[in-house]
Amino acid sequence: MKTKEFKKAVEALGFDLFSNRGYIRIDIEDEIFASVNCNRALEFDVDYTAYKELADIDKRALFTLLFEYASTPVSEREEPKKYYIKCPITGEYLHKHLGLGGFDWFTENTYSPYRKSRFTRAEIDAFEFEHAHLIEEEVTE
């Protein structure tokens, strides 16, 4: 389970989240309910006093999320970084046509359901054309 997915699912249950010193802390009405280690797998802690006050359905849902996230290897918790690929001469951005295949250049790096403009490191390394001279801009969203 990705960290982003974990946080979204816990917040959807109505709990507050705080990230601090390599942990994600889950609070219920300003009381620490649980925490999970972001840097090591299989480590989470639940405060029994707060836990016993929860409804069974909330206990089950939250425990399931904690267990799933804690069981996910640390290397699989974050999305890989993505990059825009830019031509150093024209300033245009590389886009891969989805469905049709092939690449093209556009002046903007905006989203389109027909083409892809964000690439992971693995995708860039798999390009079958020379790309060492192209500029990589990290996507920061």
Q: Residues 45-87: pLDDT tens digits?
A: 888 777 777 778 888 898 899 999 999 999 889 888 999 999 9
Say whether 33 sits in a helix, a strand or coil: strand
Structural domain boundaries in the chain = 3-76, 82-138
54-91 burial code (b ≥16 CB/10 A, e <16): beeebeebbeebbeebbebeeeebeeeebbbbbeeeee
Predicted confidence (pLDDT) per residue in 86-103, tens digit? 999 999 999 999 888 889
Q: Provide the β-strand partners of residue 126.
A: none
The Cα 106–Cα 103 span in angstroms is 10
Q: pLDDT confidence of 111, banded at 50, 70, 90?
A: confident
Quick one: tokens of 62? Answer: 């939250």
Q: Whole-number mean pLDDT of the chain?
A: 89
Say whether 21 sits in a helix, a strand or coil: coil
